[in-house]
Structure 1
């Protein structure tokens, strides 16, 4: 019995001491609010950060507390700040603050509101990004994988290449001058690749640039510098099989868009500069097998070319008459001149030209040859074929395609 009495007495003393100490600790808060209760001002709601180029915008709403008179924004670990006066109305009010001349970086912004007595709100935190030169220098223009410009029609066929979408690219722009000498800009969204312009003035440069938004909240569009487009020019007409022709009868026709003389059209009815004997209409010259010989048959056309170096590519075939070739016989040349005409076959290698190629037999079947010539100034340039097929041998000459391309450095 004495044991239980002693235990109850010890328990009572412990409870009294515990309550006394507990009351002492619970009263500690009073020294922090000796002048009254803590008063918090209503915080800014719905804080949003909009990124930008060396700037950033903060936006939010004042909803709950009509006593707010000031809003302070801190960044750089509170080393930098700005104070914004606030005039509340009875409605929801909006905060919009634009911070400019900001260094490129990622910032932790802290927003605190105050009432007239200086009572602060709970701090609202948000992260914002400022973009600048580092981001700008990382941007590249979207490349053009196709850039064909037909000078005589003004048609430009373009295809934009693949690009890294994570860079923020959302569009590309093509700047050009139209046939009425008006400057035009075509904007292509990132999802479009192929496009056509039908009114390009080839005498003026074409330019391209790309547009970027680094994130969905960015205030500013970033642009690459305009870069000059180097078109793959098409200066001349009707250059590939199946060649366009007129005055067609049977397999023979007269090639369209080229000038061809009577000697070149040596087949009955004034035809012979195109032939479908192989199943496709090719540029042709044929002598023998019952057709007349050709003496300086000429097929040529003229177009204005800007100054520069040009490469000519010709895909041709002819039969082997090597034993009958001399200075006047069985000669076929491709020639480029600046005088509106092409010389006779026997004179090609001795007169002044911009360039020529002797299309002699190489091997059976189609062969591809290349040569270059220099055009010293913007001027009309005549290109074409001259043939002398004057022997008793049966001979043919076919061209399946050719190109004349400006060479860029």
Structure 2
């Protein structure tokens, strides 16, 4: 019985060996046709970099010094290019630019050949070619705010957010400065604000957006230039609630305004900003406070030629407002005033000074809608715009009805604009 079992095991072993030998032979025959078939070394590390109607194919020849040519084909082999390869002893680079392609996604097959026509196993890579359809889909980055503050000629542009999947990379911008020089600026897509120093008032800036459709793309795309004229901001901190840079109790100093010492008559050297009535603009004397003599609160701006209006919108012109001319015995004189240069004329000189470009005497008899100054300049100038006053302090006698305790001038807001803007 044992003997028969050994014969059975032997036969099974022979059958298994025969089956395995046949399988190996089949595999071998796949590589043999009229003799052994030889394969060249394939291209390694294959990459494709898209561009405008073109694509760059890159790879490495790592081994096999017999390689003499490389074939790149696409459109299922309907299109191809055969490239001579000059192999060295080390690693060589494939870098070939295929041009004149239609905008589309492509699958590329790459093989190598030797001098006898033996070829490698295929390597495959996909890539995208961009063109007019992609370019026409691009939009310029939107602008949220483009403002030029006439006080320092630095234009601040705030750009909106965009879809980063579009490939947007940044902004190119050109503008003219006050010397007539064209400046070029770049803003990364990671940033939102761009400041343009010494901007020429009235001139547009031009900008376009830059797109790189994929990492390491070989071409950059641009939108068309858009021209924008910034809106001019002539005054800062010009309405209720006015902001302050310092305060003590009720009184403070107005932010963005120049306030001279004559106005700072309240505790801590404050004046001009008043917490009462919703943080209002107010120059106040009396009610125990001293007089204001040649007090000035103003801003300095740069203006181009044109006609302008400066307007104050008072809370009231009733009780406590700087008085009518019938009350000049106290020496009160208050003005809305525009002066040439970097300061306002003195109160006593406003009506006669050649530096005065325009003024309005503040009187109770004037309707609030008429608290405005219009003036014209024929050349670019630096100009001071604001309020100047001399007004009594202490307790005011009853001979001035309705103003028995002092003087104040509450401003809710200021307007300043250029005609025909």
User: TM-score normalised to the size of structure 1?
Assistant: 0.63
The aligned runs of 1:155-166 (5 Å cut-off) are 155-166=154-165
Deviation of 1:129 after TM superposition, in Å, equals: 0.5
Equivalent residue number for residue 318 of structure 1: 316
Is the 1:288–1:392 contact (alpha carbons within 8 Å) kept by the matching residues of 2? no
Deviation of 1:169 after TM superposition, in Å, equals: 1.9
Which residue of the other structure, out of 358, 362, 376, is the alignment partner of 1:342? 358
Equivalent residue number for residue 136 of structure 1: 135
Matched, 1:94 2:93: yes
CA distance in 1, matches of 2:48, 2:82: 17
Is the 2:313–2:412 contact (alpha carbons within 8 Å) kept by the matching residues of 1? yes
Q: 1:276 to 1:51 in 2, by over 3 A?
A: same
The aligned runs of 1:13-92 (5 Å cut-off) are 33=33, 35-92=34-91
Is the 1:52–1:130 contact (alpha carbons within 8 Å) kept by the matching residues of 2? yes
Is the 2:50–2:129 contact (alpha carbons within 8 Å) kept by the matching residues of 1? yes
Is the 2:151–2:302 contact (alpha carbons within 8 Å) kept by the matching residues of 1? no
CA distance in 2, matches of 1:254, 1:162: 34
Equivalent residue number for residue 365 of structure 1: none
Equivalent residue number for residue 215 of structure 1: 214
The farther-off stretch of 120-129 and 174-183 is 174-183
2:358 match: secondary structure: coil
Q: How many residues align?
A: 352
Is the 1:104–1:131 contact (alpha carbons within 8 Å) kept by the matching residues of 2? yes
The farther-off stretch of 89-98 and 74-83 is 74-83
Matched, 1:278 2:287: no
The farther-off stretch of 37-46 and 101-110 is 37-46
Q: 1:40 to 1:122 in 2, by over 3 A?
A: same
Matched, 1:398 2:414: no
Give CA deviations for 1:66-123 in whole Å, capped at 9, x if unaligned: 2211111112232222121111111111110011232211111111221112222222
Is the 1:333–1:359 contact (alpha carbons within 8 Å) kept by the matching residues of 2? no
1:191 match: secondary structure: coil
Give CA deviations for 1:177-234 in whole Å, capped at 9, x if unaligned: 445554433333332234545x323244333333222211311222233323432323
Q: 1:174 to 1:316 in 2, by over 3 A?
A: farther
The farther-off stretch of 251-260 and 156-165 is 251-260
Q: 1:337 to 1:129 in 2, by over 3 A?
A: same
Q: 1:384 to 1:153 in 2, by over 3 A?
A: closer
Q: 1:278 to 1:216 in 2, by over 3 A?
A: same
Q: 1:284 to 1:164 in 2, by over 3 A?
A: same
CA distance in 2, matches of 1:221, 1:379: 41
CA distance in 2, matches of 1:98, 1:303: 56
CA distance in 2, matches of 1:68, 1:255: 77
Q: 1:313 to 1:186 in 2, by over 3 A?
A: farther
Is the 1:345–1:386 contact (alpha carbons within 8 Å) kept by the matching residues of 2? no
Q: 1:57 to 1:313 in 2, by over 3 A?
A: farther
Q: 1:302 to 1:189 in 2, by over 3 A?
A: closer
